[in-house]
Amino acid sequence: MASKQPFTDSDIADEAVRATCDDASICKRFATSKGYWTDLYVQYFVRQAGERKAPEINRGYYGRVKGMNLLIDAFLKKTQCDCQVVNLGVENIMPKKFFEVDFPMIVARKIHHIKTKPPLSKPLIETHSTDSLLLDGHSLDSDRYCIIGADLRDFPTLEEKLKKFQINPELPTLFLSECVLVYMTSEQSSKLVHWVADTFPTAMFINYEQVNMNDRFGEIMIENLQRRQCNLAGVDLCQSLDSQKERFLSAGWKSVNALDMMTVYSMLPQEDVARYTSLEFLDEKELLQQLLQHYCICWAVGGLLFSGLSQIGF
């Protein structure tokens, strides 16, 4: 019998990153249970939180989801849904085709949920003929939805798998990421966004991530993650809104914008803000403000074939 290979430092670091993904999913489920937004399917993928989440955490996730969705909706309207979306870790949306990319281990777990839970599998089965639906333990592909297990740091394999499942570079394409690029080295994430800009003539990239990480609050965030053996390998690009934008500008993207979440919050629909502020009492207003000042949304547009994308914003 072959001996089991010991875990490497890289394996431990990757497992710590996957744990942060689980934590975020649990927080999102708790926020939906409080009524911040509606998600009909999160209950089938994520266990209920074992403990109450603080109001500032719930409001932070509300801003994250609402802000991302406003830009996603604007992209879908501009393209009239004649587009495709490559999700590197965000809530589901339905364009012409939706590609989801994640760690192979997370993909296997997600596919298991889909295969074993009728509310997830039934819509797929009902809308696809048998010969157009591929579903196994490592990948899922249909006419409208595809989930792929891949490491974003391995560009050749990522590109090979996207081509295998018939991604169309000629369609307007939206790439989404939430706190993903920061776990790659700056060189790796820059190569990724450069590849997207070179491969897709009409593209948009929306990235939610840390910012202003060079002050004491940012240092505490980094220290807390390091105690969990989770290293923010690309934190040097999270020092300011300018450094976030420069990653895309230096990779050839034509138009780049970035706002911290405090600013995004001020631009959200006021009727919805009034609704969610009534859900629970917020005592730590200063902590919420600090959290919002240390996250941002950066969105970049590339290509000249669909200039209307450059008008997208809050």
In a domain, 46, yes or no: no
178 annotated as a binding-site residue: yes
Q: What is the CATH number of the domain that holds 225?
A: 3.40.50.150
pLDDT in tens, 265-293: 999 988 988 898 899 998 888 999 999 99
CA 266 to chain centre: 22
In a domain, 49, yes or no: no
In a domain, 17, yes or no: no
In a domain, 50, yes or no: no
Nearest to 157 by CA among 139, 145, 170: 139
In a domain, 45, yes or no: no
Note the pTM of the prediction, 2 decimals: 0.89
In a domain, 148, yes or no: yes
Q: Give the structural domain span for 275.
A: 56-303
Mean of the per-residue pLDDT values of the chain: 86
In a domain, 312, yes or no: no
Average pLDDT over residues 120-147: 77
89 annotated as a binding-site residue: yes
Domain count of the chain?
Answer: 1
64 annotated as a binding-site residue: yes
- What are the angstrom distances between the C-alpha of 182 and each of 39, 80, 237? 26, 31, 8
In a domain, 8, yes or no: no
151 annotated as a binding-site residue: yes
pLDDT in tens, 140-196: 888 888 899 888 888 888 899 999 988 999 999 999 999 999 999 999 999 999 999
